[in-house]
Homo-oligomer: A and B are copies of this chain.
Amino acid sequence: MISQSKIKLINSLSKKKYRDLNQLFIAEGEKLVGDIVNSSINIKWIFATKNWIDAHKEIKADEIQECDLIQLKKISQLKNPSPVVAICKIPSAKHCDSLFGENLTIALDDIQDPGNLGTIIRLADWFGVDYIVCSNNTADAFNPKVVQATMGAISRVKVIYTNLEEFIKEAKSQNIAVYGTFLDGTSIYEKRLSGHGIIVMGNEGKGISPKIENLISDKLLIPSFSLNQEFSESLNVSTATAITLSEFRRRI
């Protein structure tokens, strides 16, 4: 039996307030939890069926509790409970020793849509980006829907929330290039791009905020090939991120 106090705590984690308070998030499903147990994410509790536990003897968690699907349904956020639910510790910036390392880092300036955030985490995983650094007003990556939508990518890409302006100032003081996409930038197809730097992606409606724009060292443009360029809208932030990451990687 899962205790009432645990059931109450776990269900509260669907709200950001309680994720922040407890520094915990929920992950469900064999594939996703399988990815997390192979990652650097620390697991506090695992609730799983006997079959799942028997097949995963080597798992590290503070506590592993066997339970049946009827009990799992009480803590599941999904329509059909899976055989395993993991309660995981939210990674913190303190645990990141190489944020200014030799790789690309994505910085998100107030991205609002959880769907875009989930897509960007999957893209970072695909293109081998280790860290996504989010402004404190960016949507929460540890929202159960985002966690599920990343399809395991959240176990491999570290997502950190911090004061983005301070973070980028610190990077600049270490001479790290800071890229961003703008309508008045240099074509991304013509610019020499580094394999080491920060790529800033801006809010869906407002783009990159003025205080962050002041810190950009290299303004990039994704050119439009439309014959009606005066009508053409800007690209959606997740497709712009896809094109930008592809361009940075293809050059290495």
Contacts and interface: CB of A to CB of B under 8 A. Distances in A.
Contacts of A242: 235, 239-240, 242-243
Interface residues of A, number: 38
Given A126-B225, A239-B123, A246-B243, A233 B156 contact: no
A35 B236 CA distance: 19
Given A226-B156, A228-B156, A126 B235 contact: yes
A227 B125 CA distance: 9
Contact of A232 (B125, B241, B243): B125
A108 to B, nearest CB: 16
B249 A225 contact: yes
Contact of A127 (B35, B115, B122, B224): B224
A127 to B, nearest CB: 5
A226 B151 CA distance: 15
A85 to B, nearest CB: 20
The copy count of this chain in the complex is: 2
A235 B128 contact: no
A152 to B, nearest CB: 6
A238 B223 CA distance: 18
Contacts of A233: 122, 125-126, 151-153
A189 B231 contact: no
Contacts of A125: 226, 228, 232-233
Interface string A192-236: 000000000000000000000000000000111111100111011
Interface of A: 35, 38, 115, 119, 122-123, 125-128, 151-153, 156, 189, 222-228, 231-233, 235-236, 238-243, 246-247, 249-250, 252
